Structure 1
Amino acid sequence: MDIRALTPTYAVSPQIEPTDLPAIKAAGFTTVIDNRPDGEIPAHLHTPHMKAVAEALGLHFIANPVIGGALTMENVRLQSQVMADATGPVFAYCASGNRCSVVWALMNAGQRSTDDLIRTPAKYGYNLEPLRGQIEAVAAEAGAGKA
């Protein structure tokens, strides 16, 4: 398991195993977000199993499957709501951590600079530069909603 903290309250990771969940809890995380659709992974990693193990440890578990290349604003809204409701740091995982980083960037568009939203995940090898226009469009829309 490779925990990659984008902020003090949000970290991403490549796919985890049920046996990783005790270490995630020990690291101080209170909420786990699964951004991986069950159709991509073996049965022992499917949402119901992971959720049961996480909840047995006292972790809050949310499934927010992000289909590669088909991220929706509903994915972004749900992830943002989970962050707002969390009682502590949030740990999100997918195949590589990239989708979790993209969701993070979009949910923070308009609150942080686009350069920061691209630079922070880049420290872990996630290239969000091709999404610059989308991040800026979401930021502009968020700004228009405040007016």
Structure 2
Amino acid sequence: MEIKPVTASFVVADQVNEADLQILKAAGFNTLICNRPDNETPEQPTAASLAERARSLGLTWHWLPITPGQFPDDSIARFKHILSAAEEPVLAFCRTGTRSISVWALSQAAEIPTADLLQQATAAGYDLSKLAPQLDAAKR
């Protein structure tokens, strides 16, 4: 698991497994958002198994599966709602972290300038330049 800070209270990561959850708890994370649908690859843990372990550790768990490259408005709105009510710090993850940082940027686009969102993503190691038109459209 590779954790990449995006803001002071939000980070993204690649696939998290059950052993990682104890590490995340010890690191002070409070809320986890899984953006990966089940069964993308045979070796990935199920969302249910991760949720059970996370909750047993006292972590808040949200499962918001996102199909690669598809960011429906309802998923963006739900992600924004989860963040607004979440106990921080928050970690969102998927296979590589790209979906998680993308849905984060889209959920913040109405309030944060596109250039700033792209810069934050770049600083975390992600190129979201292809999302720029969608980020700009969210401001209208």
State the TM bucket, normalised to the shorter chain.
Answer: over 0.9
In 2, Cα distance between the equivalents of 1:61 and 1:54? 7
**Which ranges in structure 1 are unaligned for 5 or more consecutive residues?**
141-147
Q: Residue 96 of structure 2 corresponds to which residue in structure 1?
A: 96
Inter-partner Cα distance in structure 1 for 2:76 and 2:67: 12
Q: Which runs of 4+ in 1 moved over 4 A?
A: none
What is the distance in 2 between the residues matched to 1:82 and 1:89? 12
SS in 2 for 1:62: strand
Distance, in Å, in 1 between the alignment partners of 2:76 and 2:136 is: 15
Residue identity over aligned pairs, in percent, reads 34
Name the structure 2 match of 1:144. Answer: none
1:70 paired to 2:80 = no
* 2: CA distance, partners of 1:2 / 1:43: 17
Q: Does 1:38 align with 2:55?
A: no
Where 2:6 maps in the other structure, the secondary structure is strand
CA-CA distance at 1:43 after TM superposition: 6.4
**Corresponding residue of 1:2:** 2
Question: Are the counterparts in 1 of residues 69 and 99 from structure 2 also a CA contact under 8 Å?
Answer: no
Q: Secondary structure at the match of 1:68?
A: coil
Counterpart contact for 2:25–2:57, Cα < 8 Å: yes
Residues 116 and 51 (structure 1 numbering): CA distance in 2 closer, same or farther, change over 3 Å? same
* One-letter identity of the residue aligned with 1:100: S
Match of 2:29 in 1: 29
CA contact (8 A) 2:64 2:75 kept: yes
Q: Which amino acid is 2:22 matched to? A: P
Write 1 or 2 for the structure with the bigger share of helix.
Answer: 1
Deviation string, structure 1 residues 74-126 (Cα, Å, up to 9, x no partner): 11111111111112211000011011110111111021110010111112331
Q: Structure 2 CA distance, aligned partners of 1:44 and 1:95? A: 9
Q: Give distance in 1, aligned partners of 2:101 and 2:6.
A: 8
Which secondary structure state, in structure 1, belongs to the residue aligned with residue 92 of structure 2? strand
Q: Secondary structure at the match of 1:12?
A: strand
User: Match of 1:59?
Assistant: 59
Partner of 2:126: 126
CA shift for structure 1 position 27 = 1.6
**In the comparison of the two structures, how many residue pairs are matched?**
140
Corresponding residue number in structure 1 for 2:107: 107
Q: d(CA) in 2 for partners of 1:41 and 1:83?
A: 27
